[in-house]
Chain A
């Protein structure tokens, strides 16, 4: 995927993020994640039914990378089992950290495959996934 296409996808998710806006529903697990060294701040709500992620909502204020990464994460994880989610998470983290990863299950998140070239952006790409880990711990 060339850089131009990657940028298009990132901007598309930034301007029109999926599932933005929280809902008032106690059946969701709700967490907040922020990057201490910058200003990204995201609330994440995840609904898990029968071991499957049935819904994710988010809100907050964050840069283009964090916001788009959240939207892309939501798109990827809806309908996935916890086991599948953990597998995707593992491969995603490997990609961000410039390790060998399985591109087949990374899907659209492949747009961040060279984010390691901008170390100051890595934490942005990881932010929603950190939130997801928190959710899975609270489950």
Chain B
């Protein structure tokens, strides 16, 4: 994939395998942000002067861009947030808080990221809801059989990642929504690890809500998206109220709010972030999301095969599709492995990757994680493998 010259960070002498955490930005994204700050700074949805109109065009143009990218039915369903965490909190506290009651069951899994788990824990405590877990199979995947086995007549919502950030399994979302909707169950999907890497079509998947972050898909930090079906978003209470989202208010405390999507975007938005996200989507579209998927799956297969040939390496998720590999060097604490690789300018993540309940299923408390993106290469994997093919990793990490 001929993209490496587009990324200034790749000019550094490092190998970056931590794309699940955040991704590098192409020049086109950086330049789009600089262009806004250098050449047409103005607030959004405000003025009648040229630059302000240009900002509106770019801002709302990105909404259109996102809408097409995930195939939402209209732009009212696209809300800009600060990231997937913000989006998930808005969904839980703005919608489910008013639509769940004591005794209702919330279904998640033990491989979910903290950003999906904790808002539900808080809500369950407030309302007296019950958190239940869909069991994972031996490959740490979610199967429809296990979903069905976990659903009861009290289940009101299933919330899970589309692709998990440690295991890299792509969940059967379409089948889950089909089944859930027959029972009147809502489905909330975190797309933070899927939207950057595979084609996500919200209408085809029929999800009720979808969340994702810009910085994990070549965009800037501090920008993300909340997608919701329009009739659901209409019922979502804004967690912030203020400028830009109201129609009018009087001293008699009469007030009215604007329509979607603006009702849910109080205050001056992250304009530069939105513009950067727009440029990131343009870049991904230019390369082609399907090409990105193919490239990452090739890298995953290639790397798993090579790593499995090393007797000192244990790979925990060889059979999942996404370009994420969780592994350990036998007898070496994950962090020591990461520090060792850092000595050779190879960036991997060590830890529990915010999925703290997963250890209950894989019997290991922490792992090293490699996560690929479009700019990674088989040569980089070869180098990683050559470094891991070493009996003295722990000693050399010191």
Out of A7, A38, A62, A65, which one reaches B395, CB within 8 Å? A7
Q: How far is the CA of A11 from the CA of B365 in the complex (A)?
A: 21
Chain A nearest Cβ from B208, distance in angstroms: 34
Q: Does B397 contact A38, Cβ atoms closer than 8 Å?
A: no
- A-facing mask of B18-45, CB < 8 A → 1, else 0? 0000000000000000000000000000
Q: Does B335 contact A40, Cβ atoms closer than 8 Å?
A: yes
Closest to B367 in A: A39
- CB contact under 8 A between A10 and B398, given known A39-B365, A64-B336: yes
Instruction: Tell me the residues in window 36-76 of chain B with beta carbons closer than 8 Å to chain A beta carbons.
Output: none
Q: Does B351 contact A64, Cβ atoms closer than 8 Å?
A: no
- CB contact under 8 A between A39 and B334, given known A63-B339, A120-B342, A121-B339: yes
Q: How far is the CA of A40 from the CA of B335 in the complex (A)?
A: 9
- A-facing mask of B253-274, CB < 8 A → 1, else 0? 0000000000000000000000
Q: Does A64 contact B333, Cβ atoms closer than 8 Å?
A: yes
- B-facing mask of A20-41, CB < 8 A → 1, else 0? 0000000000000000001110
A80 within 8 A of B: no
B82 within 8 A of A: no
Closest to B342 in A: A120
- CB contact under 8 A between A11 and B339, given known A38-B351, A62-B333: no
**Helix, strand, loop or mixed for chain A's interface?**
helix
A61 within 8 A of B: yes
Out of B351, B394, B395, B398, which one reaches A39, CB within 8 Å? B351
- B-facing mask of A37-67, CB < 8 A → 1, else 0? 0111000000000000000000001111100
Instruction: Tell me the residues in window 271-328 of chain B with beta carbons closer than 8 Å to chain A beta carbons.
Output: none
Out of B335, B336, B366, B398, which one reaches A6, CB within 8 Å? B398
Q: Does A11 contact B394, Cβ atoms closer than 8 Å?
A: yes
For residue B365, which residues in chain A have a CB less than 8 angstroms away from its CB?
39, 61
- CB contact under 8 A between A64 and B394, given known A38-B335, A40-B335, A118-B339: yes
- CB contact under 8 A between A63 and B333, given known A120-B342, A121-B339: yes
Q: Does A39 contact B342, Cβ atoms closer than 8 Å?
A: no
B195 within 8 A of A: no
B78 within 8 A of A: no
Chain B nearest Cβ from A127, distance in angstroms: 12
For residue B218, which residues in chain A have a CB less than 8 angstroms away from its CB?
none
- CB contact under 8 A between A65 and B398, given known A38-B351, A39-B334: yes
B352 within 8 A of A: yes
For residue A61, which residues in chain B have a CB less than 8 angstroms away from its CB?
333, 365-366
Size band of the interface chain A makes with B: 10 to 19
Q: How far is the CA of A6 from the CA of B398 in the complex (A)?
A: 9
Q: How far is the CA of A65 from the CA of B336 in the complex (A)?
A: 8
Chain A nearest Cβ from B251, distance in angstroms: 47
Q: Does A39 contact B339, Cβ atoms closer than 8 Å?
A: no
B346 within 8 A of A: no
Q: Does A38 contact B342, Cβ atoms closer than 8 Å?
A: no
Q: Does A63 contact B336, Cβ atoms closer than 8 Å?
A: yes
Q: How far is the CA of A6 from the CA of B397 in the complex (A)?
A: 12
Out of A38, A62, A64, which one reaches B398, CB within 8 Å? A64
Q: How far is the CA of A20 from the CA of B351 in the complex (A)?
A: 22
Chain A nearest Cβ from B168, distance in angstroms: 20
B350 within 8 A of A: yes
Q: How far is the CA of A38 from the CA of B352 in the complex (A)?
A: 9
Out of A39, A40, A62, A64, which one reaches B397, CB within 8 Å? A64
- CB contact under 8 A between A39 and B336, given known A11-B394, A65-B398: no
- Name which of A7, A64, A121, A124 has the most chain B CB atoms within 10 A of its CB: A64
Closest to A38 in B: B335
- Name which of B334, B366, B397, B398 has the most chain A CB atoms within 10 A of its CB: B398
Closest to B353 in A: A39
Chain A nearest Cβ from B365, distance in angstroms: 6
Q: How far is the CA of A120 from the CA of B62 in the complex (A)?
A: 39
Closest to B343 in A: A118
Chain A nearest Cβ from B252, distance in angstroms: 48
Chain A nearest Cβ from B21, distance in angstroms: 13
Q: How far is the CA of A126 from the CA of B350 in the complex (A)?
A: 19
Closest to A121 in B: B339
- A-facing mask of B343-366, CB < 8 A → 1, else 0? 000000011100000000000011
Chain B nearest Cβ from A74, distance in angstroms: 19
Chain B nearest Cβ from A24, distance in angstroms: 23
Chosen A-B contacts, 7 in total, with CB atoms closer than 8 Å, are A11-B394, A14-B394, A39-B334, A39-B350, A61-B366, A63-B336, A64-B394
B residues adjacent to A (C-beta < 8 A): 333-336, 339, 342, 350-352, 365-366, 394-395, 397-398
Given contacts A39-B350, A64-B397, A124-B335, 13 further A-B contacts (CB under 8 A): A6-B398, A11-B398, A38-B335, A38-B350, A38-B351, A39-B334, A39-B352, A39-B366, A63-B333, A63-B335, A64-B333, A65-B336, A65-B398
| Among all A-B residue pairs, the 5 with the closest Cβ atoms | A63-B335, A39-B351, A63-B333, A39-B366, A7-B398
